Structure formats: C-alpha cells, structure tokens
C-alpha cells in the first residue's frame, strides 16, 4: 500500500513537471524582442526549434540587421544571439526568400573562434568593395551587401554571400 502511494505520488510529480515545462513561456524580454522583428522571422525560428538552444540578444545596438544579403531581391535578417548552454554569442542569418538560417559563433566556429562576445559594433556594409586603410587599394569585392562585425581597432570580419553559402573575410584595420 505504501509503495503504491509512493509510485502514485512520483507519477503525479512527473506528470506535473512535464505539464509545467510545456506551460513555461518565454521571458518578457524575449517576447518584447520578438515583437520588434519582422513577423515572418518567428515561424522560421520556430520551425528549427531555435529557442531550444538560443535566444535573441539585445546586447548590441541595433539588435538585428536587415538587407538583401543574397541578392534575390528579398530582405534577409541577421540577429545577434546567445547560446543557452554555453553563453557564447553569435549571429543567425535568415534568408527571407528560402527561410533557411545560418548560425555563426554561438558555439560554432566561423574562422575567428566560436564566440562573438567581442562584437560591440556591427552594421550592413553596402559598399561593393573594401579598401585597405593603409594604402587605399581594393582588398575585396562584394556582389551584395555584407555583414560587418568589428572586433577591435585592428580587425573586422565581413560575412558575405557567395551564391551558395556565407563566407567570412577578415580585414586588418
């Protein structure tokens, strides 16, 4: 009888725990940030269970960038994100036409480590080329806008679309 009550109690506790986990909602901050991004983005993130591993961060201003990075005449979006398991920062780039997402940093190596916590400045680089600050010569050409993240006074990284994937280009400043 006592064992049956204990089993019943354990069963109730486990069922309640499972039910309560389903009811846990996103934080108010997460809801506010999601309310400020284009509405088409949330279903894309939900489809890949983004919020299981990452959350959108507003530690950098603006907290998202928007432009046609792929040259398909549809705006794409870039969000600054944090990995919930390891607290590493990164970006997610979401293609507006195909709804495919690409994650760099946030625990995934992108050529400059797997953490972008050092990013304090970022922007959309709409210039078609990058010129060297030392000699004014063209270092790199882009077909479409690129995402520029600044590491410090001496280096920046550009994420640009090749036609099939994103690549990075590091520039000495």
Confidence of residue 148 (pLDDT cuts 50, 70, 90): very high
Higher-confidence residue of 52 and 3: namely 52
Quick check: 94 and 100 in contact, CB under 8 A? yes
Q: Is the pLDDT of residue 24 over 50?
A: no
């Amino acid at each position: 009888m006592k064992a049956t009550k204990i089993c019943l109690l354990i069963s109730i506790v486990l069922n309640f725990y499972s039910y309560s986990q389903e009811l846990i909602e996103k934080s108010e901050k997460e809801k506010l940030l999601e309310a400020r991004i284009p509405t088409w983005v949330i279903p894309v993130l939900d489809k890949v269970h983004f919020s299981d591993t990452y959350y959108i961060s507003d530690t950098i201003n603006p907290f998202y960038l928007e432009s046609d990075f792929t040259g398909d005449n549809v705006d794409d979006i870039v969000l600054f994100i944090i990995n919930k398991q390891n607290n590493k920062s990164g970006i997610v780039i979401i293609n507006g036409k195909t709804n495919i997402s690409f994650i760099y940093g946030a625990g995934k190596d992108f050529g400059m480590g797997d953490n972008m916590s050092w990013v304090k400045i970022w922007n959309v680089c709409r210039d078609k080329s990058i010129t060297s600050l030392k000699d004014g010569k063209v270092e790199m050409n882009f077909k479409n806008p690129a995402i520029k993240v600044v590491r410090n006074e001496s280096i920046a990284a550009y994420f640009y679309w090749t036609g099939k994937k994103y690549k990075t280009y590091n520039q000495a400043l």
